Amino acid sequence: MSMPDLDLLSEEHKEALAEDCEDYLLHRSIPLISHSYDTIIRQAFKEGYRLKNSIDQSVSTEFWQQVEQECKEHEITVDYYLMEFYTS
């Protein structure tokens, strides 16, 4: 799975993901280039980090909640939203 859209993550989920990514990097003796959550996550994904099932599930749940909320706000279907914003 590719890196999640960090703008869609809550601070709690971003913090949990950054902590896991930091562990991934440090256990491989890869020095951190920054202490910001976003940078740690991006660095870990560049180094081969992949989401684990528990984190993957919470990220997925949050993503679909965000999609559903935006669809309601714009009065469009989920199919249209995905086609317009994720396949164009």
In angstroms, rounded to a whole number, what is the distance separating the alpha carbons of residues 9 and 75? Answer: 23
Q: Could you tell me the pTM of the whole model?
A: 0.59
Burial class (CB in 10 A: 0-12, 13-18, 19+), 8: middle
Helices (H) and strands (E) in the chain, counts: 4, 0
Residue 88: its pLDDT value, please?
A: 57
88 residues of the chain, pLDDT tens digit each:
578 888 888 888 899 899 999 999 999 999 999 999 999 999 999 999 987 755 566 677 778 888 889 899 999 998 888 888 777 5
